């Protein structure tokens, strides 16, 4: 006897599948991470991230215009600080004319409609590659690091950043940054907290891109989260929301879809994922020899983030995905 209920009926044609689709993916859901380098007219391909480059400030403006044309509303900036400006204390992070701040101003002057998200952490500025200040034993100290991060956030907000995204995982830094932004009159500058950032093996190519991979002394396990822990992520998210975060991020992305879903269901706050450099590199490595369809992998991956509960996704595939979605 044939079944009376046939779930395949609604899958039988394109129009029907579109009609009952539960999850929507569009360019507006994408955030494009971009790497800024010094110089003029400079494009430096990142060897471990095929298709990704560092761009000088003048060329970053072109990427912002491209994002706007594709319907991508936000770009995320990460600096490749020259080696001579890296110090133990990362003081270049506080320079209002540093590479990041110059890029923010250039983008906002040229494409004021685009949102600019900025990374707040010290690893692009330190000689040791850690996200914070270290003591004599090499331990990353929390409170003095948070003070430095507050100063970093303020120079970025002064330059025109729309979203401050502290990625360092110091305790209490979201509240300190929120208080400082309010006091400085930056009432509408958002904070997207890297609330559940794991000590992951997927970050390697990113460290190449910002120039910190060969510098890191030890590892980041004393401040980034243990990949084994899920309940702890709920505590981290809850604290960041209480301290004034407007949205939260889970990083990396695909290995932590369960965390994204739990955060969304429990807190009902905008949740973002970072499809990190290692995830990007795996897709590119599979596509290069023809082992998989690159376009299909990119769109399926991004759809998975949306299905899990993400309001948006930071992805190096943003421009490529937007072109696919725009048809």
Is-catalytic flag, 221? no
Is residue 264 flagged as an active site residue? no
Pairing of β 43-45 and β 53-56: antiparallel
Please give the DSSP secondary-structure letter assigned to residue 134. B
Query: CA 191 → CA 101, 133, 146, 269, distances in Å?
Result: 17, 22, 15, 13
Q: Where does residue 275 rank: exposed (0-12), middle (13-18), buried (19+ CB within 10 A)?
A: buried
Token pair of 324 as six digits: 């696919």
DSSP assignment of 271-304: EEEEE-HHHHHHHHHHHTTTSS-HHHHHHHHHHH
Spatial distance between the Cα atoms of 222 and 38, rounded to a whole number of angstroms? 32
Q: How far apart are CA 106 and CA 2, in angstroms?
A: 65
Exactly one of 108, 197, 220, 264 is catalytic; name it: 197
Q: Mind giving me the DSSP string for 230-244?
A: SHHHHHHHHHHHHTT
Cis preceding linkage at 252, omega within 30? yes
From the candidates 68, 108, 217, 251, give the one annotated as an active-site residue. Answer: 251
190 - beta bridge partners? 163
User: What's the token pair of residue 63?
Assistant: 């990427």
Active site residues: 197, 251
């Amino acid at each position: 006897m044939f079944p009376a209920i046939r779930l395949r009926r609604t899958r039988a044609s394109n129009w029907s599948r579109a009609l009952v689709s539960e999850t929507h993916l569009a360019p507006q859901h994408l955030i494009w991470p971009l790497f800024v380098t010094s110089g003029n007219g400079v494009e430096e391909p990142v060897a471990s991230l095929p298709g990704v480059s560092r761009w000088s400030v003048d060329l970053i403006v072109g990427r912002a215009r491209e994002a706007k044309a594709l319907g991508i509303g936000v770009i995320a900036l990460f600096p490749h600080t020259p080696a001579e400006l890296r110090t133990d204390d990362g003081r270049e992070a506080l320079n209002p004319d540093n590479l990041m701040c110059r890029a923010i101003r250039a983008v906002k002057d040229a494409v004021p409609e685009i949102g600019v998200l900025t990374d707040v952490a010290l690893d692009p500025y330190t000689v040791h590659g850690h996200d914070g200040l270290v003591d004599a034993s090499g331990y990353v100290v929390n409170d003095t690091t948070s003070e430095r991060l507050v100063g970093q956030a303020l120079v970025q907000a002064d330059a025109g950043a729309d979203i401050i995204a502290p990625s360092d995982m110091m305790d209490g830094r979201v509240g300190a940054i929120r208080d400082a932004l309010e006091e400085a009159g930056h009432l509408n500058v958002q904070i997207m907290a890297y609330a559940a950032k794991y000590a992951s093996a997927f970050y390697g190519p990113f460290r190449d891109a910002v120039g910190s991979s060969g510098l890191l002394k030890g590892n980041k396990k004393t401040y980034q989260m243990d990949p084994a822990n899920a309940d702890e992520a709920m505590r981290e998210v809850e604290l960041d929301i209480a301290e004034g975060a407007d949205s939260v991020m889970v990083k990396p992305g695909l290995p932590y879809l369960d965390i994204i879903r739990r955060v969304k269901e429990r807190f009902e706050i905008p949740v973002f994922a970072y499809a990190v450099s290692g995830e990007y590199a795996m897709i590119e490595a599979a596509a290069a020899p023809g082992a998989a369809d690159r376009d299909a992998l990119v769109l399926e991956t991004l759809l998975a983030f949306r299905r899990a509960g993400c309001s948006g996704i930071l992805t190096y595939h943003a421009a490529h995905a937007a072109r696919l979605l725009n048809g």
